[in-house]
Structure 1
Amino acid sequence: MIIPDFKTAVTWAAEQDSQFGELSRTDCLAVAKAYLDEQRAEIMTRHREGASGANVVDLLSSLADELVNGVFLFALRQVPKPKSILKRVAICAHGGYGRRQLNPHSDLDIGLVYEGRIDKNLKSLNDYMVPFLWDLGYEISFVAHSIKEAKELARIDTKVFTSYLSCRYLAGREEVYGKLRLALDGLKPREISHRYAELRLRERGDSLAEEHRDLYAPEPNIKDGAGGLRDYQTGLWLMAVSHGAGTLDEIASHGFITKEERLAIAEALDFIWRIRNELHYLCAKAEDTLTFALEQDVAIALGYTDKTKRDTSRFMQDYYTAARVLQHFLRVAAHSCDDDIAESIVKPEAPENTEFSVENGELNAGLHDVQWYTENPARLMSVFWECARRDVPIGLDSERRITENLHLIGDDFRSSDLVRRFFLALCSRPLQAGRALRQAAQSGVLERYLPEFGDVRDIIRYEDFHHYPVDEHTLRAVEALALIPELEGSVGNFLKDTLEHLMDPHILVLALLFHDLGKVSGEDHSDEGMRLAKTIGARIGLPHEDTERIAFLVQHHLLMTHIALYRDTDDADVIESFAKTMKSEHRLRALFLLSYADMSAVAPNVWNDWKGTLLLKLYLKTEKVLLGYSEDTDEEFWKQPKAIAVQAFLDDELKGQLDTHLKAFGGQYLSAFPAEQIAFHIQCLNQADEHGFAALCVPNEDQETSEMIVCTPDHPGLFEEITGCFASQLVDVERADLYTRPDGMALDSFTVVNPSRRTPLSDAQVKVVESALKDVLTGVRQVDELLEQSQRRIFTGRFS
């Protein structure tokens, strides 16, 4: 016989046409597979031609519906009593499939619901359908429950409850599906309160896996990460359970989101669906992580046409914007649940006729009067001063009221003396300014007041190797000031003391807020940032002296870090030059704090004790020059017990060098190292005296680090060359101790680790690092050449 197409075969099965009986399972599978492949190809073409994400997921869901319905009818023809089965079963779609949100390689979550007991006929139906759908190429999750079982499981198991909450009818007897819905109506499982707590934690990111917590992860998981599809689905779930509003339209009609927010959520969701569709098509599998290697290909496929890092950056900027919208939706949903729970326990009182109040740890502002902001627009800034003063976040309802009044912020607002006073008062509280400014940014006030801040929103610059977009990095830098009281150790204590004695802290906060604004224009962002700082200062009415102090810090915001990490701070000329630039101890203090905050906000774990030690060393040396102090002389020390203990680790031929070695480096050196390490230093110096260069790596298993000792004649730029060699081989430096003998031989000791595992260097790593050091320090190669090779390797991995 002639094999029909899929739709004809389905019609024969539905009408119990005798011709269907002549078709084998292989025939049915072949026509179904041909139809599936043909339709999938057409949908992929529509996607490539620019179809919306919502359109594509709907088409894929409809296609799956056709296949599942057809396979169900095929299966009915294989069981002995199809009419009996048909009377008591229904097929349901669950999860993303139930919401009609299938991506190209999404799983099919299918449930079989039945009345009565399971029997051989039902088992035969199941045994036909599931393997058939697997053979078509679908990933299947299949469950079978009686209505009674479904109700009981949903009552005690939140996951089952959630699954049935969003399920929809596919095939079988619709009355059976109706009985299921009736049985589940009004049911809330025992674990529901625990689930609310879990979701509230998720809103803050605490319950997410470490790699998924950061909205601005450089390689975001667009399904499970913060701001991903899971946040949207969780928000819908919360709204459906708490308020019976399971769609965006229903949520908007209940007043939980505005029409504008509903549109923004739909647009963000559509964009992320488009990204996920492209990822699935590009990888030919269910891939949800937007890796560096995939970013450019996805960007080009979605219409970011130039094959450049800047266009990839623009694409990622749009992604982070969309992710932030979905994350905010989850926040709104979680907040509505908190209100619902509170109202069920305590009857809410009418709002007091007060301007400000704190409830449940959040600031309410102006909720008593819809005209409150219109009467005095300066209140749009005073709210954030209150947040800083009271050290509490602003409530969601108050934030929404502020957003509704952003149109009041214009030129008059920006030049208002009253607004400026509130803004400077906020910035004068460095421990609270970070959170208040973040909320001002979140509500839209900050970029309306400072349009230059809006210009850097979500901008990614790959050449900076920053983990975060410019605006997020900036806010985290201000927030880093609030972490200073928690820091430990000598560097932490010094930062605390410096912040406590800082004059005019608003200068520091504003310098942090402005320091990267110049990145919107191109490479030389420090000078451009200085220009913008002066422009902003004049516009908002800052005193000229304050504007100049802020502009100085912005222009030189990279200087202290560069000198501390890449220049030889034992070189008196380096210190003298830096001191001439600083001119005053007040500037030095502010730049020290700014350098800490800026470095802390680059990426997780970029700030460490080693870098802090280098900054502190530069600070103290520069401070002495600025204050006119001289270096203290070392006291006699070389006959101390510790000095004598070094001999136990030395060969006889080297013991005679101990006194000379210790006298050359001083008492501070003796205090800084254990006896065994000093012995290694002497061994390394002995080799350098003989060969002109030596490097020795000693593992420290207790600390899970390695000590890399480098001995070579001192010269300008030596520290920069050594650290450049480490950077070129992707080795992290946690600490550096730098010494030079009177004869000019340098002894530099570095605590280093394998960055990926935070462990001592492997033998292979030691070899390549020692080779790089030897090549650079003996003049065979330039360190810039090694760094360029390393950078090419990194960017090849990202963009090739």
Structure 2
Amino acid sequence: MAKPYDQIPDRRAIVRRRALEDALATLVEDLPTGGEPPRPAVLSLLRDALAAGRAEIRRRFEEPGPLRNDGDQVLAATSFLMDQLIRVIFDFADQRIYPAANPSAAERLGVVATGGYGRGELAPLSDIDLLFLRPYKQTPRGEQIVEFMLYLLWDLGLKVGHATRTVEESLRYAERDQTIRTALLEARYVWGDRELFDEMVKGFAQKFLTGDGRDFVEAKLAERDQRHQRMGDSRYVVEPNVKEGKGGLRDLHLLFWIAEYLYRVHEPSELVAKGVLTKEEARHFERAERFFTTVRCHIHYLTGRADDRLSFELQREIAARLGYQDRPGSRGVERFTKHYYLHAKIVGDLTRIFIAALEDSRRRKPKLAALWQTLRPRELEGFRLDGERLAVVSSDAFTKDPVAILRLFHVAQENDLDIHPATLRLITQNIRLVDRLRTDAEANRLFMQMMTSKHDPETTLRRLNEAGVFGRFVPDFGRVVAQTQHDMYHTYTVDEHTIRAIGILSRIENGTLKEDHPLSAQVVHKILSRPVLYLAVLLHDIAKGRGGDHSVLGADVAMQLGPRLGLSAAETETVSWLVRYHLAMSGTAFQRDLMDPKTIDTFAALVQSPERLRLLLVLTVCDIRAVGPNVWNGWKAALLRQLYYATEQVLSGGTLSGGRAERIKQIQAEVAKRLTSWTEAEREEHFARGYAPYWLSFDPDTLARQAELVRRAERERQPLAIEHRIDGERSVTEVTIYTLDTHGLFARLAGAMAISGANIVDAKIFTLANGMALDTFWIQDLEGKPFDGPQRLARLAARVEIALSNRLDIQRELESQRPSWPKRDRVFTVEPRVLIDNNASDTFTVIEVNGRDRPGFLHVVTRALTRMSLQVASAHITTYGERAVDVFYVKDLFGLKVVNQDKLKQVADTVEKSIRDFDARFEPVAKAAE
């Protein structure tokens, strides 16, 4: 909690109250009676004192020295600074501006601090909460003093929450409003009439601090739950709110409010003597508060405002200020955020411990004896039922039988019970016993049963993790607890992501997510070994944060852990394979041309069996879905389904590459059935326009729609024809463009779409025999939804037309839009990288381009490819947060693969340079906008 003022070093260097009072006094010395001093001069003195005090506090916090990164000192010193300024202003108003020779009893006025200011924990730029205490009625002079003080404080740029009440009113409002009651609980005398403050404190204690406090506790816990829901109800969000988020400062404050209310304590250490916390738990409390407080102070200083969100922009800077440096295989910012989440987890542990102690103390109260008598313990598989929660029979239950630790969670899961906080506390105190269980066959059996149970394994695994059992029982999992990845793609810590993925698997299996994942819900019941699938989901990210390829390292972990958990050698090998290649299906589906037979043949050769294909599909879906909200969409689902069915066909003995001419003939026959208003001659003319790859790249319905577009454009002699179709099932808008094929066409189209706010996720580019281009783009808005709306689509069509007529300066338009791009995108640096693969396709050179995603990225890359005289046949666009991975199937101007090594190197160098130049042009504009 806050440091006493006498522990603030050299307080006079922060503010000299006497000197400030003297300076203000000189302003009124020569004024006539009743004359007011010049307000600008008063403000100037106070503003200078405030600025100097804040600067001194910040200097101590940021510069090398004993107070560096000491957030507690900042809060105490800032409270001290505000106290001194408010005292000066009060005395100035009371004695100089509105003096009274003989003030009456009715003119008494006291100034009281409430909220964080009342605790003496005022963050650098937080609001100031004041209560002006007056006698039974307010006098005009009292009103004038309050008004004078408030206007001065506001003019100083301070945000002031205030109320003017009598003692009686304060207590009456506190009875009705728990927020006001909490504020009075933390009230602190600042200046003015001390007797009024003492009267309020005495009345508050007599009125509220004599009962069992049940109403207050229940109200504060309900308030906490609502706040958690509002903030996302997870400690593991990537940009946590240090104050209001789950496991943050407000949760610690809530615990202490309850402690103050029930136990009349003023420091966490006092709870040790009350038997509520152990010495170690009290140290955890103080350490967590100190960490969060320090982080919050850095946020305020860096942002220049009362902001409590630990945003991406701030995480790297604060990590460096706190001394977290990059190490081989471990980034400093990720270690910093890991420590943040570990502290948030400790707050959760302390909450459970505190509530357990609270219930025990309530149970001992005679007036509650009747209530607890109705909840007499009942036996359940060696444990006792305490209400609707499971508890141990004795305090030595775990030392007598360590396996009981896992059995406790298993029984709770099977009977849909919660675990008593006191029992969870006992586990924490005996956590080292879990180490013995790793080689215990019964313990390993219980763990696998819980993980593969059809009774909500996600909740049970989360309980195991929160209790610290999971990480001790599976040490490799313990290494990823609170492990973060500093990017915009991964929303949760690795352990939270993994537990969520298992929850998604369970819901797919029980049919809850059947509408979202119909194919997975169907094939999951064909899988031969459920333990293999569940263990693969558990281990797919187990080796993150170690340096190196986490898939390869994780496969080794699987080989060690499988036998221990009861899997056979064959099952263990399958788990290891799944972990090793858990990114293969998404990589193929999202970054390769699924209409190219070589893509499917290569993927089928990797998978080798229908069982592995089923396992990999479900694992891939669970992994992507658990990354975070808005990552999964219909487009990704459609690509995975397409890959699954094509691979299943090959694995079942079929073929995609043979009988090409026959397949084209069949497809054209299907298209002909759909062109009912066409003459035979028209159909044959159209079939002659498309080369073989075109007919193999779309389904008959799409080919028929495109045929109608082409015929209409030819009949009406349109130089440009555009058609769109919203595909809600796949969450995309399909845009087809028919126009004269020209050099750099794709780049211009990509640019027009970028400045229209459309995000291209896939594209197929074809030149017909008549020299016309028939290009199809699948686009989304920036939220991953179909690009729709009549106005947006009309603007897109207009910009495409202008771009193709060379009347649109795409570079300039992108430059003008850059200041409005999200600022947090600028936090991340993605090194441009170009990978060229001539084995992925029999007829195309495949170029994979990695870089920082931003509007115009695809335009920049395709312009570079155009300058290298390459023809793009298809583009497959994937984004992982801030990282774009764009894959292009290209040929040279002669329609051949690019095989010359010098040419390939030149292509890679040119594309990389174009991205670097784009980034360099972007940065100055971004910094100027900030």
**What interval of TM-score do these two structures reach, taking the shorter chain for normalisation?**
0.7 to 0.9
Q: In the alignment, which residue of structure 1 is the partner of 2:225?
A: 203
Question: In 1, are the aligned partners of 2:617 and 2:644 still within 8 Å (CA)?
Answer: yes
SS of structure 2 residue aligned to 1:420 = helix
Q: Structure 1 residues 605 and 207, CA, compared in 2 at 3 Å: closer, same or farther?
A: same
Structure having greater relative contact order (Cα 8 Å, sep ≥ 6): 1
Q: Is the 8 A contact 1:511 1:553 kept in 2?
A: yes
Query: Residue 493 of structure 1 aligns with which residue?
Result: 518
Aligned pairs for 1:217-616 (under 5 A) are: 217-240=237-260, 248-305=268-325, 310-329=331-350, 346-348=371-373, 349-354=375-380, 355-356=382-383, 363-366=389-392, 368-410=393-435, 412-429=436-453, 432-462=456-486, 465-484=489-508, 485-489=511-515, 492-537=517-562, 542-616=567-641
Residue identity matched to 2:171: K
Q: How do 1:671-750 and structure 2 match up within 5 A?
A: 679-680=708-709, 698=724, 700=726, 706-709=733-736
Give the Cα separation in 2 of the matches to 1:300 and 1:780. Answer: 46
Contact 1:158 1:192 in 2 (8 A): no
- Cα shift at 1:101: 1.0
One of 173, 182, 185 as aligned partner of 1:153: 173
Question: Distance between the aligned counterparts of 2:138 and 2:106, measured in 1?
Answer: 13
Residue 38 of structure 1 is matched in structure 2 by: 52
The alpha-carbon distance between structure 1 residues 543 and 669, as it changes in their structure 2 partners (threshold 3 A), is closer
Q: CA deviation at 1:43?
A: 1.8
The yes-or-no answer on 1:75 pairing with 2:93 is: yes
Say which is worse superposed, 143-152 or 555-564, in terms of deviation.
Answer: 143-152
* Residues matched between the structures, number: 769
2:83/2:190 contact within 8 Å kept: yes
- Report the CA distance between 1:224 and its aligned residue: 2.7
1:199/1:334 contact within 8 Å kept: no
SS of equivalent residue, structure 1 residue 459:
coil
Q: Rate the CA distance shift 1:136–1:493 in 2: closer, same or farther, 3 A.
A: closer
- Equivalent-residue separation in structure 2 for 1:442 and 1:725 (angstroms): 50
Question: Quick one: distance in 1 between partners of 2:857 and 2:29?
Answer: 77
- 1:7 and 2:18 are equivalent in the alignment: yes
Summarize the Cα distance change of 1:520–1:699 in structure 2 as closer, same or farther, 3 Å threshold.
same
Q: Write the distance in 2 (CA, Å) between the matches of 1:737 and 1:121.
A: 79
Tell me, in whole angstroms, the C-alpha distance in 2 between the residues paired with 1:487 and 1:34.
62
For residue 34 of structure 1, report the CA deviation from its aligned partner. Answer: 4.2
Residue 779 of structure 1 corresponds to: 870
1:139 maps to amino acid = K
Conserved in 2, the CA contact under 8 Å of 1:508 and 1:594?
Answer: yes
For the structure 1 residues 112 and 725, does the alpha-carbon distance in structure 2 shift closer, same or farther, using more than 3 Å as the test? same
Q: In the aligned structure 1, how far is the partner of 2:602 from the partner of 2:750?
A: 21
State how far apart, in whole Å, the 2-side matches of 1:790 and 1:587 are.
44
What is the letter of the counterpart of residue 41 of structure 1? A
Distance 1:171 1:263, change over 3 A: same
Q: Would you say the 8 A contact 1:695–1:770 is kept in 2?
A: no
**SS state at 2:533 partner:** helix
Asked if the contact 1:393–1:439 (Cα under 8 Å) also holds between the matched residues in 2, the reply is: no
Do the aligned partners of 1:665 and 1:739 also contact (CA within 8 Å) in 2? no
Would the aligned equivalents of 1:299 and 1:312 in 2 still touch at CA under 8 Å? Answer: yes
Aligned equivalents of 2:922, 2:418: Cα separation in 1 = 40
Superposed CA RMSD in Å reads 5.0
Q: CA deviation at 1:187?
A: 4.1
**Aligned equivalents of 2:593, 2:455: Cα separation in 1:** 33
> Could you say which residue in structure 1 is the equivalent of 2:77?
59
> Percent of pairs identical after alignment?
26
CA distance in structure 2 between the partners assigned to 1:477 and 1:795 by the alignment: 37
Q: Provide the residue aligned with 2:883 in structure 1.
A: none
- How many angstroms does 1:163 deviate by? 2.1
> CA shift at 1:770, angstroms?
8.6
Of 93-102 and 280-289, the range deviating more from structure 2: 280-289
Aligned-residue offset at 1:462: 3.2
Distance 1:558 1:757, change over 3 A: closer
Which stretch shifts more, 625-634 or 609-618? 625-634
2:448 touches 2:565 (CA, 8 Å); kept in 1? no
Secondary structure, in 3 states, of the residue corresponding to 1:370? coil
Q: Deviations over 1:681-725 (max 9, x none)?
A: 7779x89xx99xx9956264999953234799xxxxxx9xx9999
Counterpart CA distance in 1 for 2:566 and 2:918 is 43
Classify the secondary structure of the residue corresponding to 2:129.
strand
The CA distance in 1 between the partners of 2:406 and 2:385, in whole Å, is: 17
SS of 1:605's equivalent in the other structure is coil
Superposed CA offset, 1:553-579 (max 9, x none): 111111111111112223333323322
Q: Which range is displaced more, 339-348 or 297-306?
A: 339-348
Amino acid at match of 2:507: L
Per-residue deviation, 1:117: 0.7
- Cα deviations across residues 294-327 of structure 1 (Å, max 9, x unaligned)? 2222222222356999222222222222233335
Name the stretch that deviates more: 599-608 or 734-743. 734-743
CA contact (8 A) 2:79 2:122 kept: yes
1:517 Cα deviation from its structure 2 partner: 2.0
Separation of aligned partners in 2, 1:511 and 1:66:
62
- What SS does the aligned partner of 1:462 have? coil
Mean CA deviation greater in 439-448 or 578-587: 578-587
Question: C-alpha offsets along residues 201-250 of structure 1, whole Å, 9 cap, x if unaligned?
Answer: 743766415xx544333232322333332333334345555666675345
Aligned to 1:760: 787
**In structure 1, what is the Cα distance between the partners aligned to 2:766 and 2:274?**
70
Segment drifting more, 23-32 vs 76-85: 23-32
Q: Which secondary structure does the structure 2 equivalent of 1:467 belong to?
A: coil
Aligned to 1:123: 143
- The answer as to whether partners of 1:6 and 1:31 remain within 8 angstroms in 2 is no
The one-letter code sitting in structure 2 at the alignment partner of 1:528 is: L
Name the structure where helix makes up a greater proportion of residues. 1
Give TM-score scaled by structure 2 length.
0.71
TM-score by length of 1: 0.81
CA distance in 1, matches of 2:733, 2:391: 55
User: Per-residue deviation at 1:439?
Assistant: 1.4
In the alignment, what sits opposite 2:187? 167
- Residue 605 of structure 1 and its aligned partner are, at CA, apart by 1.5
For the residue of structure 2 that corresponds to 1:548, the secondary structure is helix
Q: Gaps (5+ residues) in structure 2?
A: 1-14, 657-661, 740-745, 804-855, 873-886, 889-907
The CA deviation at 1:356 is: 3.5
